[in-house]
Chain A
Amino acid sequence: MARCFLSLFCPAVTSEKLTQLVEWCGRYSPLVAADGSDGVILDITGGTHLFGGEGTLLLDLKRRLHRMDVKSQAAIADTWGAAWALARYGKRFIVHGENAVSALAHLPVEALRLPNEIVLELRRLGLSTISAVKKIPRGSLAARFGATLLWRLDQTFHQAEEPLTPWRPPAHYRASRILAEPISTVGAVEYVLRDLIQEICKRLENNHLGSRHMDLACYRVDGTVDRCELRTSKPTRSVPHLMRLFDGTLDTLRSGFGFETFVLSVLDIEALYPKQLSLSQAEPVKEESSFDALIDRFSMRLGFQEVNRIRVRESFLPEQAVEFRPTTAPAAASAEWPAYRVRPVRLIDPPMRIEVSILIPGESPVQLFIGHRKHRIVRSEGPERLTAEWWRDKPSRWDTRDYYRIEDDQGFRFWIFRDPSEHWFLHGHLP
């Protein structure tokens, strides 16, 4: 049976937008793929009647894209190559059978989807149209341009097959099961899922990798899809752990008329080296620490953004020095804090203004008052001088701060600082 291709040419789309378009084009045919960086190719063989014929389909497509504000041209032909050429360079947009030869004759050689060097070479020889190239004996062409040119010519004029690989999201690992009969119970889905996870984890283990992000796509009988995804704070390939994490979400799947296909994809991976068994074998190797597993389960329940870890941020200013990041975010080494720069566990925010008495200007105080309470200072160390991070939009209230660690006669320890105008502040309590 003659095949039928639709080529869509959308100059000036971003790669994101193109991905969207490819997904969206799925409405016309399941056999859809991105075609270069500026087009989509659809195999619409045998499906055009659903849209009222080829002409109507083309109109419908163009109208919708126009509404979506996408500039586009589209053409339908018997081959991918011919449709591609017509969409980009043609004057006619639906061409079948023998008509293709005349419709393509005057198009430039670029329309043959050739590498740039070959196009340049052809142009230098004055062979600038498809018809001019077709006039040259095939042997002479092959001797000069190799197989590529002939291959492209044949693909365009229906003398060679050109299979289309349908679009799928990029995934590092993928496993799928197509079932003979649709299923709809949680138990049955769990069974398939365990099978998929085992397969994937085996492959991950072989390559010393672990998953940080998985996606399970469940295709219903009617062609719609339901998905559930799963992120972990550490790379993992533990089947029980992954099953436990999926456990809570499987309930949310709506099976409708039943699922017939399952695809499990790993969207993010990280290195995970196998653990050495202890020689004595007395202690069995624990695959995951129970704490990490707990964090993952919290994340699954509460949402991936809700569970955070505290990280050191490289700043000497105490209020800038920590940040919160989701546990599932890509791992990045936390900066090492210079041990000699002592910081209190909690900061007083904003720093509390205090009164002090000082004996020698420029030195640390001998007494300070917090509220009405007087503290006699017996020990002090400092100053640790910190300047404002001048490049920030709001650098800091103070240009420089001189921090002192002090201890009163009761053994309480404080972290206080002096600003350039000799005001004193309490910024925290030290252990």
Chain B
Amino acid sequence: MRNYAELQVSSNFSFLRGASHPHELVMAAHEYGHHAIALTDRNTLSGIVLAHSTLKKMAEHRTRFIVGCRLDLSNGESILCYPTNRKAYGKLTQLLTLGRRRANKGECILELADVVDYAEGQHFILPFPQVLTHSARMHIQYCADLFRGNLHLALTHSCRGDDKQWIRTIADFARSLSLPAVAANDVLYYSPERKMLQDVVTCIREKCTLAEAGFRLEANAERHLKPPQEMARIFEAWPDALEATIEIADRCRFSLDELRYEYPEEIVEPGISAFEDLKRRTLAGAKVRYPKGVPEGVIKQIDHELKLIAQREYAPYFLTVHEIVKFAKSKKILCQGRGSAANSVICFCLGITEADPVACGLLFERFISAARNEPPDIDVDFEHERREEVIQHIYEKYGRGRAGLTATVVHYRKRRVIREVGKVLDLASNTPPERRELAVNLMNQLVGFPRHLSQHVGGFVIARGRLDEMVPIENARMQDRTVIQWDKDDIDELGMMKVDVLGLGMLSAIRRAFDLMERHHGRKLSLAGIPHEDSAVYTMLQNADSIGVFQVESRAQQSMLPRLKPTTFYDLVIEVAIVRPGPIQGDMVHPYLRRREGRELVEYPSPELEAVLKKTLGVPLFQEQAMQIAIIGASFTPDEADELRRALATFRHVGTISSLRERFLEGMRKNGYSKEYADRCFSQIEGFGTYGFPEAHAISFANLVYVSAWIKCHYPDVFCAALLNSQPMGFYAPAQLVRDAREHGVEVRPIDVNHSNWETTLEAVENSSRYAIRMGLQMISGLPEKDAQALVAARGPGYRTPGEIARRAGCSRRALDRLAQADAFASMAIGRRQALWKTSILDGKIPPLFAGAELFGDPDTDLPPTTRGQEVLADYFTTGLTLREHPLTFLRPHLKAKRVTTAAELKKTPHGKAVLVAGLVLFRQRPQTAKETIFVTIEDETGAANLIVWKNVHEKHHDAVYHGKLLACQGVVQREGQVLHVVARHVWDWSVQLKHMGPRQGAPALPVRSRDFR
């Protein structure tokens, strides 16, 4: 029997054309015993790594994978391209880069002439024409001339009725051009059952329903991968065409295994090796880190790490990251490494990370292991507002041909699938149940299909040679960003280096705080320079006074702080790690707290595990502890443990999880652990896989927790101003940050045209070392920055009338209107309404001659007086917060009559008592660990209260719980230590009440912006 290689295959990376994943296709080919299978997605190589690695992992290597690509040309014709060797592969990736880079995101513009330019070493196949139009005929003739000797014409049997005759016509035509023919099935799915899904994706692509799709759908389900025997039967009359598949497959010897990734080299100082350079820089850095002399342990550790790095030749990688960090520091951009890099003392010495791993007892092997042959992964956080500078620096330094962002494959998610498939199938409420079932089945198949490529948040790939000879590079949606066609997993699979350049809002805030402290308090600080282990900071955190502090400001963290009572830095590390879905899902929080409070005996299942779990009182809290349990407890190899973590983290290899689970339980049993303990461990590991923090990462984050808490504790004025200027970031809206600052005795002054700058500033207060916060003009919603900056620049000694601002600063009417609306003319003794009245005829854009009214005198007009309530309402409209009374003050008499408990009174209410509370909604949250429950935080003039709304309640009061701005809640007080909740029984939306504050009729509702479900 003749064998067969399928050379024309589209996977679902030909978006909305193919109806199977690459791994499904190659596994099917392997199953059928194909000689080889190619992947020819349209203008992309995104699926090839997955296909390649899937086949590589097969126990038997009977089917070879061939890299290919279908080039859709701008004249409407197509040609399939297969690189025969490494060099040709580089040409193909360059060709695709060329086409992608000159088109918009997701598109590719290629001409036949471009293909000719990059044709060296490629083999081509022309797809089988279904009709032989003049242009198709010309295209074939043209290609036959251009690529003679390296071109075949495909013959495809699609059961269209006249196949024998039509194939003969085309084959004769090919022969007339002395073009050899090759059999191909133009595969779209691995099995005929996927035809329905293929119809569905076709309709999604064409934006039509199935009923409207007509001839855009295929007439039959023949475009599936067919076993070699069947292909042999179909092409019995054309044995040469069958033979040609093998010939071509054998000619295309290129394999992705040949890709040799090399680290960039120009970062190294000339004349010395990368390793020598790294060693030199590390030792220099160590002297800075340990000014009192480098400790013995650190020197030993550095030697140890260097040895491993030398062995693996990772030195250029460390240098690359160091260069990026050095650049950031030279531009005064704060940065800090996160993730497992904090395990490395070299990273600490180079200034990439900020926590001393030796002092924290971290192991380098968690970062780079001798056993695991995979490249290290350093993630660095930069100030979120200045990250773009770092990114553009990398592009500039290495060029777009050598550096690119990793792609993220955006998959179809359930919600979108339901919408799209529903539209395509024209589902309605009266759709019969069988059709519904079919629809659900199709939806499940579509979930997880790639939808488009997006850019990874910051994963950079940098190569020594040309990156575009390894992988095609394309444009991202954002300007000046370029993305490679492979995602993180593909990169890992091929052992390529990646640096994550991430953005972190808190770093921007901390840098601003440092600047303000230096300017006003005369204190120069850096991340490393903050005094350590300050007890005042811990006292503050123990009282859950953490609004604005990095990571521990969330509601869950706030309720954990008084229970955990942190007193040392390591407690903060635990605090950061423990309030995570991983530990919560694995039910590790309560045992840890009980043990910490001494209410439960600290015990270890075995002495081996004691070493692993001692730090955390026998309860695994960090990701690597969970991995260690697998290694020590269940006798996994480190590789297997890592495989387990990956399997849990991505749903790419769903099938492997259950087999790993059995292996794990079996291993634990053999090592003498109880079944119950083993089960619990596995569920813990499951939680960690997706959501756990590695210890090193928790340490890096805890460092920022400590720094931000220290600033808050000692300089609440600076802290609040820095946070306000770094918005949007963090958990709380400016209203809560300002409220918190005022509660800490910081004076907050309103926005004023004669005092405010664009950013929030600090102003001296008489007889006080503390400064007052002057809110910045940027807090006024809708005020153009250009106008505000002009206003500040032209202010001089100050403005006396709104008219002066218009004339001197040239502010637009719109800007003046926003200023008036924000009540920013108080220093001129002009109230909001009068200001609006005065500014409504001014416009700096119009020459004064025409702005007649002011010149000729606009009669002063008595406008109706405003109420306090209206002022508050207007404050909320313009800045989202008020320095006057809380809106609920105005409703209080009304609320009192309804016997509503205030937040302050609630704090004194005993457990179990029924209460009625009301307040503005600050947050709604639906934690991943408790999906059925919604947590709502409400606020009145006396403070905040936390509501727990169980599923049965929020289903009943859906609109109120999800959309209400002012909620009233009847429920029962639940106390746990210092933590207090109201468990809701009934929830009502009282938002209408807010309208009574403003004018009687038709007033818009209060624009309270809650931060929901983040």
Contact = CB atoms under 8 A, between A and B. Distances in A.
B841 interface: yes
A384 B837 contact: no
A356 B161 CA distance: 20
A136 interface: yes
Contacts of B222: 385
B864 interface: yes
A402 B438 CA distance: 25
Interface string A295-330: 000000000000000000111100000000000000
Interface stretch (B659-667, B677-685, B996-1004): B996-1004
A385 B159 contact: yes
A340 B161 contact: yes
A384 B215 contact: no
Contacts of A137: 859, 861
A373 B774 CA distance: 102
B840 interface: yes
Contacts of B196: 390
Interface stretch (B162-170, B522-530, B573-581, B600-608): B162-170
Contacts of A335: 214-215
Interface string A361-403: 0000000000000000000011111110111110000001011
B833 interface: yes
A2 interface: no
B866 interface: yes
Interface in B433-464: 435, 438
A381 B220 contact: no
B658 to A, nearest CB: 33
A16 B440 CA distance: 38
A49 B214 CA distance: 63
B821 interface: yes
A377 to B, nearest CB: 16
B161 A341 contact: yes
Contact of A381 (B164, B836, B874): B164
Contacts of B1000: 128
A143 B219 contact: no
A124 interface: yes
Contact of A126 (B166, B435, B821, B863): B863
A123 interface: yes
Nearest to A132: B864
Contacts of A314: 213-216
Interface in A318-367: 335, 338, 340-342
Interface in B91-145: 131
Contacts of B160: 340-341, 384
A140 interface: yes
Nearest to B220: A385
Interface size class of A (residues with CB under 8 A): 35 or more
A381 B195 contact: no
Nearest to B852: A143
A110 interface: yes
Contacts of B864: 126-128, 132
B207 to A, nearest CB: 16
B871 to A, nearest CB: 11
A405 B160 CA distance: 12
B824 interface: no
B215 A143 contact: no
A36 to B, nearest CB: 17
A126 B999 CA distance: 8
A148 to B, nearest CB: 14
B210 interface: yes
A125 B220 contact: no
B853 interface: yes
A143 B219 CA distance: 69
Interface centre among B210, B865, B1002 (most CB of A within 10 A): B1002
Interface string A264-287: 000000000000000000000000
Nearest to A120: B1004
Contact of B1002 (A110, A140, A400): A110
A199 B123 CA distance: 69
Contacts, number: 107
A381 B165 contact: yes
B474 interface: no
Given A340-B160, A391-B199, A108 B863 contact: no
Given A144-B841, A340-B166, A403 B161 contact: yes
A121 interface: yes
Nearest to B832: A124
B914 interface: no
Nearest to B863: A126
Interface string B219-234: 1111000000000000
B861 A136 contact: yes
Contacts of A315: 214
B220 A400 contact: yes
A140 B858 contact: yes
A127 B863 CA distance: 7
B220 A386 contact: yes
B798 to A, nearest CB: 26
B611 interface: no
A140 B833 contact: no
B995 to A, nearest CB: 12
A52 B315 CA distance: 102
B211 interface: yes
A316 B215 CA distance: 7
B189 to A, nearest CB: 13
Central interface residue in B161, B435, B858, by most chain A CB within 10 Å: B161
Contacts of A391: 199, 210-211, 425
Contact of B162 (A108, A381, A390, A402): A381
Nearest to A399: B221
Contacts of B213: 314
Nearest to A108: B1001
Given A137-B861, A385-B222, A400-B220, A128 B999 contact: yes
Contact of B1001 (A126, A128, A386, A389): A128
Interface string B760-793: 0000000000000000000000000000000000
A400 B192 CA distance: 12
A144 B840 contact: yes
Nearest to B218: A387
A108 B1002 CA distance: 9
Contacts of A110: 1001-1002
B211 A342 contact: no
A138 B836 CA distance: 17
Interface string A109-142: 0100000000001011111100010001101100
A425 B932 CA distance: 57
Nearest to B210: A391
A120 to B, nearest CB: 8
A126 B874 CA distance: 12
Nearest to B216: A314
A110 B1001 CA distance: 10
A385 B864 CA distance: 81
B97 to A, nearest CB: 38
Contact of A143 (B211, B216, B841, B1002): B841
Contacts of B865: 126
Of listed A390, A391, A403, residue having the most chain B CB within 10 A = A391
Contacts of B438: 390
Contacts of A136: 861
Contacts of A385: 159, 219-220, 222
A384 B159 contact: yes
Interface string B808-851: 00000000000001000000000001001100110000000000
Given A126-B833, A383-B161, A387-B195, 20 more contacts: A108-B1001, A121-B840, A124-B821, A125-B833, A125-B837, A125-B840, A126-B865, A128-B1001, A139-B853, A314-B214, A316-B215, A340-B160, A341-B161, A342-B162, A384-B219, A385-B220, A387-B221, A390-B199, A392-B211, A402-B159
9 contacts: A126-B999, A128-B864, A128-B1001, A137-B861, A143-B858, A314-B216, A342-B162, A387-B221, A400-B220
- 4 closest A-B pairs (Cβ-Cβ)? A314-B214, A384-B161, A385-B159, A391-B210
